[in-house]
Amino acid sequence: FCAKGTLGDRLLRGDPIIRLRNRDLMVYASIKKTDLLSGHGDHQDLVETVKNQNLTKLKRVFLVHGETKSMELLSTALKDEGYNVTIPEKGGVFEL
């Protein structure tokens, strides 16, 4: 998976030139996508991981990595389970 606008996304789209470290570089590679492997758990894996925590001890869950839509769906699922979930704005500060 490559999020929209990332270097990986530009390579998958077949952009002939990419910008990396303030340099324009020609792409000579042929890029192919596969959906066979993932280094991340899916939505249900993440929900189950949080559900294995003690609801009375886990005061808040912060979602800080991922696409906005995916984080919002995960937030809703966790809130439905009774968890206090926050998707902080970039640069947000919280006292724990």
Which value, to the nearest 10 degrees, does the dihedral of the CA atoms of residues 13, 15, 20, 22 take?
-130
Task: Give residue 38's pLDDT.
Answer: 60
Domain count for the chain:
2
Same domain, 26 and 43: no
Task: Give residue 40's pLDDT.
Answer: 63
Whole-angstrom distance, CA of residue 67 vs CA of residue 44 = 16
Same domain, 45 and 84: yes
Task: Give residue 57's pLDDT.
Answer: 87
pTM of the model: 0.60
Same domain, 43 and 33: no
The two three-digit tokens of residue 54, written as one number: 């003690």
Same domain, 55 and 86: yes
Task: Give residue 39's pLDDT.
Answer: 60
Same domain, 12 and 47: no
Please list the rounded mean pLDDT of every run of 10 residues in the chain (96 residues): 86 92 93 69 85 87 89 94 92 86
